[in-house]
Amino acid sequence: MSKGFSKSSVGRKVLMALSGFFLISFLLLHFVINFLSVFDADLFNVASHFMGTNWIIQFIMQPVLLFGVLFHLIMGIYLELKNRAARPIKYAMNKPSENASWISRNMVITGVMVLLFLGLHFYDFWVPEIVDKFVDGIWDQPTKYFTHLVHKFEDPVRVGIYCLSFVFLGLHLLHGFQSAFQSAGFNHNKYTPLIKKLGNLFAIVISLGFIFIAVFHHFNSH
Amino acid sequence: MDLTLKVWRQKNKEDKGGIETYPIKGISEHASFLEMLDVLNEQLISEGKEPVAFDHDCREGICGTCSLYINGEAHGPDRKVTTCQLHMRMFKDGETVYIEPWRSKSMPVIKDLIVDRTAFERIQQAGGFISVNTSGNTQDANALPIAKPMADKAMDAATCIGCGACVATCKNSSAMLFVAAKVSQYSYLPQGQIERKERVLNMVEQMDKEGFGNCTNTGACEVECPKGISLEFIARMNKEYLGASIVSE
């Protein structure tokens, strides 16, 4: 790999795409496991316990995931600032909606909203898990996951915030999914329209699916 | 038709500049946009004022010289036309029309509506060429068979006239559509293979040195490009760059 790759505009685009692909695959896994909670509490507990105690997932995949999130976040904001600096004088009259969608032009807004949500999400689920395992030293609690999940969705305000955040996540994915393929250098007459449709489907299923899970547990906890 | 023009006026590179308002009357809807500006300049000269400086040359959409941001869009509200091909029938009688120069740190305003686009020339000089011995033994182009789909793709990329509308319209002021077109037009052809890897590496390096922004795949450039250069070429450049980076020493 050439020395300048990670410092070049194209190189950074490719790296953003690769981290995006990784986060998309994680999101799909996260969604599938969470969706189990709608059908079977025990199955959800088994899957969550496996994810929470498997050493490969805990000590290899989890740090990789954290790195992936941080990289995507820091690089995204850095590129946004750099891009803004490339046009120091703005147009007196500009009509960006004539040639590009709001979603594609405002990835930083939807991204920052997802980031803010991640703060709450980590506080709700990740921090208690880390405290349990690494502070209190309790690793073997195979049935706690479903109870904890349902308890968190009792508060209607929290459910509202989660649902709104999933809308922002969906908007981010609507552009991000297909954009990652383009950035990674894949654009094909036959397959790109298919990728765009698949990306739209993925964004809608993920955001509506997560909303459904939150609302489902909220109403079933009462 | 009668119009109110809001035109960017700037004495030189150092001047701060600002929008000036000029009412203009009796413009034919069949006139081109540049002809309307000619009328404005005659009006300004007759009033003892300095005419508006703007770039133009061929006035038939092939030289890439004209470069105006009209009512919030590069080359105005029409599609796949340069400013010189834009007609006044695209506007309504009594309309206010904003006329601004391209806005990019890498393409600073020299005077009024004229910007310095030499950044594009430096990118071309970095690799947008093939090295051929032209000392009299040049091979006939038809002696080298090229598959029609490849020739068509190369031609599609080569239609880029380097006007800079992609930079002007991109929210990030990115030049990737231009660079991608110039990289791709050679990469499809056998003549472009020898310098293929160095070309993409050097042109991207120069593009970055010039300070253009990064592409975020909004697709605005493709919509506003007067030649309809496809985003497909940006993906191709990304792929070429990735490949060249992996194998480069």
Q: Which domains does chain B have, with CATH numbers?
A: 3-111 (3.10.20.30), 117-247 (1.10.1060.10)
Encoded tokens for A175:
């552009």
**pLDDT category of residue B138 using cuts at 50, 70 and 90:** confident
Q: Residue B171 and residue A182: Cβ atoms within 8 Å?
A: no
pLDDT (tens digit, 9 = 90+) per residue, B147-179? Answer: 999 999 999 999 999 999 999 999 999 999 999
Q: Which long-range contacts (CB under 8 A, 24 or more apart) does B194-199 make?
A: B194/B130, B194/B131, B195/B127, B195/B129, B195/B130, B195/B131, B196/B240, B196/B244, B197/B243, B197/B244, B197/B247, B197/B248, B198/B127, B198/B244, B199/B127, B199/B128
pLDDT (tens digit, 9 = 90+) per residue, A10-57? Answer: 999 999 999 999 999 999 999 999 999 999 999 999 999 999 999 999
Judge whether B188 and B240 are in contact, CB under 8 Å: no
**A35-72 b/e with 16+ CB inside 10 Å = b?**
ebbeeebeebbbbbbebbeeeeeeeebbeeeeebbebb
**Among A85, A93, A99, whose Cβ lies nearest the Cβ of B105?**
A85
Residue A23 CA, chain-centre distance (Å), reads 6
Encoded tokens for B80:
């796949």
Comparing CA positions, the residue from A173, A143, A113, A182 lying closest to residue A43 is: A143
3-class DSSP assignment, residue B125? helix
Residue B114 CA, chain-centre distance (Å), reads 13
Rg (CA), chain B: 20
Question: What is the rounded CA–CA span in Å between residue A39 and residue A43?
Answer: 8
3-class DSSP assignment, residue B213? strand
**Chain B residues inside the 8 Å CB shell of A183:** 215, 217, 235, 238
Alpha-carbon separation of residue B97 from B81, B89, B190, B223 (angstroms): 18, 13, 47, 21
Longest dimension (CA), chain B: 64
pLDDT (tens digit, 9 = 90+) per residue, B184-224? Answer: 999 999 999 999 999 999 999 999 999 999 999 999 999 99
Judge whether B79 and B53 are in contact, CB under 8 Å: no
User: Considering only alpha carbons, which residue of chain B is nearest residue A107?
Assistant: B216
DSSP string, B26-76: ---TTSBHHHHHHHHHHHHHHTTPPPPP---SSSSSSS-----EETTEET-
Q: Residue A4 and residue B241: Cβ atoms within 8 Å?
A: no
Encoded tokens for A67:
């790195």
State the DSSP H helix or E strand holding residue B98, giving kind and residue range, or none if neither.
strand B96-100
Residue A139: its pLDDT value, please? 84
Res. B141: pLDDT tops 90: no
How many CA atoms, within 13 angstroms, populate the side-chain half-sphere of residue B49?
Answer: 13
Residue A222: its pLDDT value, please? 61
Q: Residue B231 and residue A187: Cβ atoms within 8 Å?
A: yes
Going through B109-218 in order, the beta strands assigned E by DSSP cover 109-111, 114-115
The amino acid sitting at A9 is S
Question: What is the rounded CA–CA span in Å between residue A20 and residue A113?
Answer: 16
3-class DSSP assignment, residue B215? coil
**Chain B residues inside the 8 Å CB shell of A107:** 216
**Among A4, A84, A91, whose Cβ lies nearest the Cβ of B72?**
A91
pLDDT (tens digit, 9 = 90+) per residue, A159-194? Answer: 999 999 999 999 999 999 999 999 999 999 999 999
Residue A175: its pLDDT value, please? 98
**pLDDT category of residue A137 using cuts at 50, 70 and 90:** confident
Alpha-carbon separation of residue A97 from A46, A81, B6, B230 (angstroms): 48, 21, 21, 19
Residue B103: its pLDDT value, please? 98
**pLDDT category of residue B135 using cuts at 50, 70 and 90:** confident
Encoded tokens for A62:
């989890």
Res. B137: pLDDT tops 70: yes
Residue B243: its pLDDT value, please? 95
Residue A138: its pLDDT value, please? 86
In this prediction the ipTM stands at 0.94
Establish if A93 touches chain B: CB-CB under 8 angstroms.
yes
**Chain B residues inside the 8 Å CB shell of A179:** 216-217
CA distance A158 to chain B (A): 32
Question: What is the rounded CA–CA span in Å between residue B34 and residue A198?
Answer: 45
Question: What is the rounded CA–CA span in Å between residue B78 and residue B90?
Answer: 7
Q: Residue B103 and residue A91: Cβ atoms within 8 Å?
A: yes
pLDDT (tens digit, 9 = 90+) per residue, B69-120? Answer: 999 999 999 999 999 999 999 999 999 999 999 999 999 999 999 999 999 9
Percent of chain B with pLDDT over 90: 93
